[in-house]
Structure 1
Amino acid sequence: MPKKSISHPYAEHLSFERLMLLIATLLKNPGIGSPDLINVNYDKQHDSLTQVRLSLQQLAVECKIELPEDYPAIATLRKDLKTLRRYGILERRMYRWGYYLGTGAMSQTELKVAFNALASQAKFQGDPQLRRICEILSKRLRGLDMELQGKFFYPVRQHLNRAIVYTDPEEMAAQGENRNTLFHQLPVLETAISQGQAIEISRASDLYGNNRIGLLQIVPLQLIYHDIAWYLLYENYENGHLAIGRLNRFKNYCKLLNNGQGRGLEAQKNSLNKAYQLLENGWGLYLGEPPEQQLELQEQLEFLTVKVRFFPPVTAFIQEGELRHPKQKIILGSKNETTGNPSYLDYLITLPPRSIDEFSLWIYRYMHKAQVISPPHLVEKHHQAADALLSQYATPLQDT
């Protein structure tokens, strides 16, 4: 009686290489086979394996692996996919929106947290790039969400800070609200950031009355979302001055300088570290004018110590913010005999002069529950602001 063969179906060299190429193809092209990638109507049938086959053949050429002509056949690839399912490399479910292997470098729990964060930023911060990524991932991961009975897409965490201006060129076009801002140049801008390329942009408006509009030559460092809008952190190309500007206040214009030659990531990181040193020292996003900024970076600038007294019920909110600023100090006042809580608290902080205006805006939100104690010029400034507010309410409103 002939002995039963125990040869493995992938023992033959060509079969083994085909399987390895298939796995590598799926790893390098997550979502391959999706109708999105081959411009096929979702309601129509499409042959996803044709796309997989073409990519596999291309990868073989790149890896200098010679395959027979018209190899492998689609039917052979279907058998290989069954093998991958058998060993748990692919899940035992449909991959209507393209093949991908597992969750890459993340566990399923980590992927869910990451997806929630991406979806939140795409929705509320209006990030156009993330919107498109989330649309693709939502389709690609739909099978996983069904398997988990809807738990994967449920937004356990959310960032509700919402952009107050249009940020997505596609959304602008769809709604007929084109703003011609720097948001239209994000691909060029992001490349310039990652390579340290000098660019020329144009400021369209200056809402602070300094008449700083027109062309500006910079090296962009980072895109920042803060509170209600997207900002650009940049370094002046001529003098190295670091500044932050609202993206929507720049025109739809971005020109590469120096033939697109970048200075590299090391120089970018050095400038970024300086900018974050300034942000940590100060309050808000204003980084100061060149002379005082240089003194501050050289640790030769004299800072101001500000003291503000807060009264109940605001005291509880101020006391709660233990990490509001790295250089703050909170001193509790005497206890109220009735409530047992502090009758006031003093908030002390040392800031560069450039940050006083933005710090004042934070104090204003607490109205009569906050009183500036020092320095004297800031006491006077807040006193005048209170008088101006009182005067405004004392003047009858005219009918419009």
Structure 2
Amino acid sequence: MPKKPTHPYTERLAFERLLLLIATLLKYPGVGSPEFLESGDNQNHDAISVVRIYLQKLAQELNIELPDNYPAVATLRKDLETLRNYGILDRRMYRWGYYLGTGALSTAELKVAFNSLASQAQYQGDAQTRRIYETLSKRLRGLDMELKGEFFYPTRQHLNRAIIHTDPEEMAAKGENRDTLFHQLPLLEQAISQGKAIEISRTKDLYASNRIGRFQVFPLQLIYHDIAWYLLYELCENGHLVMGRINRFNSHCYPVKIPARGLEKQRESLAKAYKLFENGWGLNLGEPELQQLELSGNLKFIKVEVRFYPPISNFILEGERRHLNQKIILGETDKNTGEYKFIEYHVKLPPRSLDEFLYWVYRYMDKAEILSPTELREQHRQAGQALFNRYFREI
């Protein structure tokens, strides 16, 4: 008389079923939640029945033959318990769907990533991130309960807040629709990740450079900086690298018949752009001819020297990594206060960056004095005089 199997997964079918279950939970994280149902019925759904549907679907994709109506829901319940016994699933409720562990991250690492998602969704107005954050919040609710609310507590936060409308769904809900490129982000991201050229259209040019209308570009990256989202792109016609505020483009966004160039070329262009960021100050990447000279190492940089006075000088001293090429020169010490009477901030910048550097100096009012170059010093002096005149003009 044949011996009975000593293990519930000795038979091939049972073993394949268990592996299919694990593969299903890996391929469809959150499977079993209402969002996996076409009806979207949050109240009357059986999570394990949904898991069963996706397990059968995966078996078909992998050309694994299963008997009709196999496996039974009761059998899957036992399999899920087996996964709990081996620590593959935690011993808690998976109300918002099943997933295995924390994927590639530990719980502590996942918490840091979750905090960043929360910030980008709330303050930077990223619609895609908001949807991911909402889904992940549901899936991780059980983990947060297990940790007594510690997981969802925002230990880290980025408070830089977008000052414009960025989320198409939020715009629609508030009746604040805007004809901007934010409505085309899926197409834009696909073009970035596949190295495809697109045609976009700028509707606003606040710098009076007459850059209005349609043009063809290779989009390289979406960048959040300070108060807004920007698109970093390369013009198809001449390889000019440019940063543009996304809200200043309208929703015109179409693929063009230019061969895709692949991610290697995308990375090369991205590296050039970041070299320009490192050299300069701010987001202005310069005009085509000067940009090429800079990238080839043939552009002469301008040495800028600014003297800062207390108490602002103390804050400038804190910025040890404000610019890669900066030097801070300490002035003499005040015998009464023990503080430096002034410090000097020296940095070499490409000509394209002088205006943005000057805007940074403006914020420190009378506590900053530009020493060189002479042209920038005169601009700063004239701005101070204009401010004085505005406050003391005759009424």
RMSD across aligned positions (CA):
1.4
Letter in 1 for 2:208: G
TM-score (norm 2): 0.98
- Whole-Å Cα distance in 1 between the matches of residues 5 and 64 of structure 2? 27
What corresponds to 2:249 in structure 1? 250
Matching of residue 369 in structure 1 with residue 370 in structure 2: no
2:337 counterpart residue number: 339
Q: Helix, strand or coil for the counterpart of 1:235?
A: strand
Which amino acid in the other structure matches residue 336 of structure 1? D
Q: How far apart are residue 65 of structure 1 and its match?
A: 1.5
Letter in 2 for 1:179: R
1:74 aligns with 2:73: yes
Q: What is the letter of the counterpart of residue 295 of structure 1?
A: L
Partner of 1:199: 198
Deviations 1:305-355 (A, max 9, x none): 000000000010000000000010000000000011110001100000000
Corresponding pairs, count: 394
Distance 1:225 1:353 in 2: 24
- What is the distance in 2 between the residues matched to 1:294 and 1:187? 31
Counterparts of 1:6 and 1:194 in 2: how far apart (Å)? Answer: 51
Q: Which residue of 1 aligns with 2:161?
A: 162
CA displacement 1:361-381 (0-9 Å, x = unmatched): 000000100001011111111
Q: Deviations over 1:36-63 (max 9, x none)?
A: 2214343x13112222112111211222
Deviation at 1:29, TM superposition (A): 0.4
Shift of 1:67: 1.1
Partner Cα separation in structure 1 for residue 387 and residue 36 of structure 2: 59
- What does the per-residue CA deviation read over 1:242-277, in whole Å, with 9 as the maximum and x for residues that have no partner? 000000000011000117x42110000000000000
Q: How does 1:100-111 map to 2 (within 5 A)?
A: 100-111=99-110
Aligned to 1:254, what secondary structure does the other structure show? strand
Q: Is 1:381 paired with 2:371?
A: no
Write the letter of the residue equivalent to 2:15.
Answer: F
Confirm whether residue 317 of structure 1 aligns to residue 315 of structure 2.
Answer: yes
* Aligned ranges 1:28-43 → 2 under 5 Å: 28-38=27-37, 39-42=39-42
Q: Deviation at 1:215?
A: 0.4
Structure 1: how far apart are the matches of 2:335 and 2:4? Answer: 91
SS in 2 for 1:251: strand
Q: Distance in 1 between matches of 2:36 and 2:233?
A: 36
Give structure 1 stretches of 5+ with no counterpart. Answer: none
3-state SS in 2 of match to 1:258: coil
Moved over 2 A (4+): 2-6, 39-42
TM-score normalized by the length of structure 1: 0.96
Matched residue SS, 2:250:
coil
The residue identity in structure 2 corresponding to 1:40 is: G
Matched residue of 2:271: which SS?
helix
Letter in 2 for 1:152: F
2:12 — aligned with what? 13
What SS does the corresponding residue of 1:67 show, helix, strand or coil? coil
CA distances 1:61-88 after superposition (whole Å, capped 9, x unpaired) = 2222111121111111111111111111
- The 2-side partners of 1:137 and 1:112 are apart by 11
What's the % identity of the aligned pairs? 65
**Deviation string, structure 1 residues 115-172 (Cα, Å, up to 9, x no partner):** 0111111111011000000000011110110111000000000000000000000000
Q: Which runs of 5+ in 2 are unaligned?
A: none
Residue of 325, 349, 366 corresponding to 1:351: 349
- Deviation of 1:395 after TM superposition, in Å, equals 2.0
Distance 2:247 2:40 in 1: 36
User: Greater shift after overlay, 114-123 or 46-55?
Assistant: 46-55
Cα offset, 1:4, TM superposition: 9.0
CA distance in 2, matches of 1:328, 1:151: 41
Per mean C-alpha deviation after superposition, the further-off stretch among 307-316 and 72-81 is 72-81
Indicate the residue corresponding to 2:304 in structure 1. 306
